[in-house]
Structures are given as C-alpha cells and as structure tokens.
C-alpha cells in the first residue's frame, strides 16, 4: 500500500528500514525493570548483539539480567546465550525470578555488608512445569513463599501458583478457549 506522503515524509522503503532499525535498537534498550524491596537496588534486562549472529542476515540479541543501585553501579547477573525475560524481585529481597527459555528460574542472592548484591553460589533453580509448557510473567506473593505465573500448555493459557514451602504446583485458573 501507499503511505500518505503528507503524514510520512519519509519514502516507504526508508520508513521500513527505520522501523527495522528501531526494532533492533529497542532490543538494546534497558527494560523489564523491577525494584528491590530496599528501594536501593533494581534489576533490569539489557541486550547486546549476539556474537554468533554477526555474520547472519537475521540478527539475534542476547538479553541478560543486570542489577543496579542508586549509586550508578551496575553488575551483570546472567551470562546465558539466550534471552532472560520478566525479572521480578522477591518481596523479601533474597531472590529474583525470571524467564529463561520458557521456564521460570529463581536466582538466590546474597547481600554483602557493603550493600553489594551477589549471586549465591547455587545455580538458579527452576520451577517444575510439565513438558512443553511455556511459562511467562512471574509474580511473587507478598510473603515470597509462592510465585504465580501464566503458562501456555496444551494450546491454552493457564495461571499457576508454585509454593516453595510445600514444593507444590497448582493450576489456579484455566482460561476458556476464547477465539
């Protein structure tokens, strides 16, 4: 279709290139911001062009988690070659939940005496979900003992709650198949 030149003075081909460039640039923009309960720290996602995609036509971005504080100190938390998404800081300040390859991961944190935050030596744990389930949008309960999340499985979206104390996964709601 023809784009109205009075609304978009950029030629259609150039506009497409600009939109593509904006899409690539947005992948590098910090996003997924979540405050720590101490209001001094935060976690966010930031992307960089994957070294493996430099020679490919389709560029791929590695999205990693970073922790920052109000003193402008930023530390990279994850280094996986795939995207981490939807970071959420637990209300007790001791863990960050995030999505990695469609699974919810929990990274335990250690608070140093100088206020710095480090990953615990334990590797991140995963919330057990069935087979090809794709988990999304984790949200902590106020007591940090449970986490709710949306999940796509069996061609439907459902809401689940995982209880860390009982190690129990419960389907909270099954959404109707709305088309």
pLDDT in tens, 26-60: 556 677 889 999 999 999 988 766 555 455 555 56
**Nearby residues of 123 by Cβ (< 8 Å), 6 or more positions away:** none
**Nearby residues of 150 by Cβ (< 8 Å), 6 or more positions away:** 135, 136, 137, 157, 158, 159, 160
The number of C-alpha atoms within 13 Å of 62 and in the hemisphere containing its C-beta is: 16
The number of C-alpha atoms within 13 Å of 104 and in the hemisphere containing its C-beta is: 29
Over residues 114-130, the mean pLDDT reads 72
Convert 135-144 to b/e letters by CB count within 10 Å (16 or more is b).
Answer: beebebeeeb
What sign does the CA torsion over 35, 27, 99, 152 have?
Answer: positive
pLDDT reported for residue 178: 53
Whole-model pTM: value is 0.72
| Pairwise CA distance, residues 88 & 37, whole Å | 11
pLDDT reported for residue 26: 53
Over residues 6-31, the mean pLDDT reads 51
The answer, yes or no, to whether residue 19 has pLDDT greater than 50, is: no
Q: Which of 46, 47, 49 is nearest to 59 (CA)?
A: 49
pLDDT reported for residue 13: 47
pLDDT reported for residue 25: 54
In the structure, what pLDDT confidence band is assigned to residue 5 with cuts at 50, 70 and 90?
Answer: very low
**Nearby residues of 14 by Cβ (< 8 Å), 6 or more positions away:** none
Cα distance from N-terminal residue to C-terminal residue, the chain = 29
């Amino acid at each position: 279709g023809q784009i109205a030149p009075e609304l978009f003075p950029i030629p259609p081909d150039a506009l497409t290139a600009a939109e593509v460039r904006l899409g690539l640039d947005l992948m590098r923009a910090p996003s997924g911001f979540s405050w720590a309960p101490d209001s001094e720290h935060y976690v966010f996602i930031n992307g960089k062009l994957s070294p493996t995609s430099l020679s490919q036509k389709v560029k791929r971005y590695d999205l990693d988690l970073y922790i920052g504080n109000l003193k402008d100190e930023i530390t990279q938390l994850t280094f996986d070659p795939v995207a981490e998404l939807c970071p959420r800081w637990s209300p007790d300040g001791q863990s960050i939940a995030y999505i990695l390859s469609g699974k919810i991961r929990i990274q335990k944190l250690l608070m140093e005496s100088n206020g710095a935050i480090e990953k615990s030596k334990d590797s991140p744990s995963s919330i057990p979900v069935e087979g090809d389930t794709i988990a999304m949008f984790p949200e902590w309960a106020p007591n940090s003992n449970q986490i709710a999340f949306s999940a796509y499985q069996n061609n439907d979206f459902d809401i689940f709650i995982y209880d860390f104390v009982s190690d129990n996964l419960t389907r909270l709601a099954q959404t109707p198949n709305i088309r």
